[in-house]
Structure 1
Amino acid sequence: MIASVRGTVLHVGLDHVVVETGGVGLLVHTTPATASEWRTGSEARLHTTLVVREESLTLYGFTHADAKALFEQVQTVSGVGPRLALAMLSVHSPDAVRQAVSSGDVVALTKVPGIGRKGAERIVLELRDKVLVGGAEPQAPAPPGTMGDAVADQVEEALVGLGWSAKQAADAVRTVGTSQDPPTEVAAVLRAALRELGR
C-alpha cells in the first residue's frame, strides 16, 4: 500500500497531478479542488490510497488524511467504487458528505453525478452510524496553548475556500500558531489568520 507521496509536481491536470518521487513520476488522481492547489515545480505531499484491479494500479491522493479516510469509508457501501467516491469529494467537502449522511440528506448526495436516489438512500443506511461529523476519527485534544492539527487543517481549508492559495493559507496558519499565546479554537485561529493575510 502506498500511503503517501511526496515530491516535485511535474504536471497538473484538471483531476490529477504527476508527482516525481525517487525519479519516478506517479500519476495521482484527485479532486479538481486539490489539483488546483499545486503548481508545476512545487513540492507536494499527498495522502494516498492505491486501488488494485486486475488490469491496473491506480493512485488516489488527498491533501488531508481526513478526506482520504472518508474516500476509503464510502467505498465500503455496495455499488460505490473509487471513481464515485472521488466524485463525492469533488462535489462536497468531507464534512459536508458526513453531514449529509448523518442527517439523511438524500438530496445533497444526489447532486453527485452517478448517485441516484436509491444509491443515496443506501449510502445513508450503511454509513449513518459509522461517520463522525467533523472528522474521520476522534482527535486527541491538543496540549493547552497549542493549535491542534485538526484545527489547523480546518482553518486552512476555510481560507482556501475563501480564495487564498493553499500556500498562503498554510503560511498564515503557521504564523498564527507560532505567535506568542496562539489561539486554539477554530474561529479564533481563523480570525487571526485573516488579520495576518490582510496585512
Structure 2
Amino acid sequence: MLDKWTTPLIQPALKLTALWLKRHGIKPNQVTITGFLIGMIALPLLASEYYSLALLLILGNRIMDGLDGALARLASPSDAGGFLDITLDFIFYSGIVLGFALAAPAKNAVAACVLIFSFMGTGASFLAYAIMAEKHQLPDPNFKHKSLYYLGGLAEGTETIFLFILFCLLPGYFPQLALGFAAICMLTAALRVWSGYHSIDQAEKGKLKDSIT
C-alpha cells in the first residue's frame, strides 16, 4: 500500500549508487545474490537472539534489493534477473520469520507458522496474477519499472520492511506483531484474488467477444 509513495522517494539515491556500481563493473545479479546472502546471515543471528546485528543485515538486504533493480534499469532489465530477484526475496522473507521461530519456539512458532501461511497467500496471488497479466497483456501503471506485474494490496514491500524492523526492536512482541500482520496479508491475498480474477475474466471475455465479432 505504501510502495507507491516510498518508491519515488528512494529512487534518486538508488540511481546514483547504481551509476557508481555500473562504472566499477558490478552486475545486477551480483548485487542480488550478495544481498540475499547478507540477508540469510541474519537467520542464525535471529535464532541466537542477536537482534540488533540481524537488523543491520536485514536492512542491508533490502538496500541491495533496491540497488539490483536500479542497476538493471540502467541497461535493460532481464526476465532471468527479475525471476532471480523475486524468488530470493520470498526465500528471504520466510527465512526471517523462521529465525524468530527458532529464537523462541514455544512462544513464537505458532505465530511464525501463521505468518508464513499468510505469505503464501500474498505470494501465490502475486505470482499467479503476474503470469496471467503477461499472457493477457494487462497493464499495471503503478509499477512499470518492475520486472513482474504487481497487483496492489495492503501488505507490500514497505510494510514488510517496517514489520521486520519492529520484530528486531520489539522481539518480545513477535507473536502479536506477526499475527496482526498475518491478518493484513490474508486480507491482501483475498483482495488480490478477487480483483485479479475479475481482471483476467474481463480480459478473456473481451477477447472472446472480439473473436465472435
TM-score range, shorter-chain basis? Answer: under 0.3
Larger radius of gyration: 2
| TM-score w.r.t. length of structure 1 | 0.28
Q: Comparing both structures, which one devotes a greater share of its residues to helix?
A: 2
Structure with higher strand content: 1
The answer to which structure, 1 or 2, has the higher relative contact order (CA under 8 A, 6+ apart) is 2
